[in-house]
Copies of this chain bind each other. A is one copy, B any other.
């Protein structure tokens, strides 16, 4: 959860969830952690990236639109969504996207002796 998601070659799907919270925890942090664990066991789950500093951005990656629909309809996730509306979120926006291409960069360090070159390398 803490790093860059190791997603496969596109195409695949991303759900961008951008939110602002109400004041107080009200069980939010525990449920957020539980939802990350639950999502990771769903069919079609590819990874997640999540950061919050007042504004929260959580991006989950999925193999198909059908896997996104199934996750949205999951009964435990439905309960968390209801709590989100009733208690946790001040505002949010959800964007369902098709990832069409990607590229990445990994700096060459002594920790990654299998990489070549000395100024970092681009993959893809």
Q: Give A contacts to B, CB under 8 Å.
A: 2-5, 7, 10, 14, 16, 18-20, 22, 49, 51-57, 59, 84-86, 89-107, 119-120
- CB of B86 within 8 A of CB of A119, answer yes
- Inter-chain pairs besides A86-B119, A92-B104, 12 sampled, C-beta below 8 Å: A2-B55, A4-B55, A4-B91, A5-B93, A14-B95, A18-B49, A22-B107, A51-B53, A51-B56, A53-B53, A94-B103, A95-B102
A and B contact pairs by CB, cutoff 8 A, 22 listed:
A2-B55, A4-B55, A4-B91, A7-B93, A14-B95, A16-B16, A18-B59, A51-B53, A52-B53, A57-B59, A84-B105, A89-B105, A90-B107, A91-B104, A91-B107, A92-B104, A93-B102, A93-B103, A93-B104, A95-B99, A96-B99, A96-B101
**Interface residues of A, dominant DSSP:** strand
Across-interface contacts of A95 in B (CB, < 8 A): 7, 10, 14, 99, 101-102
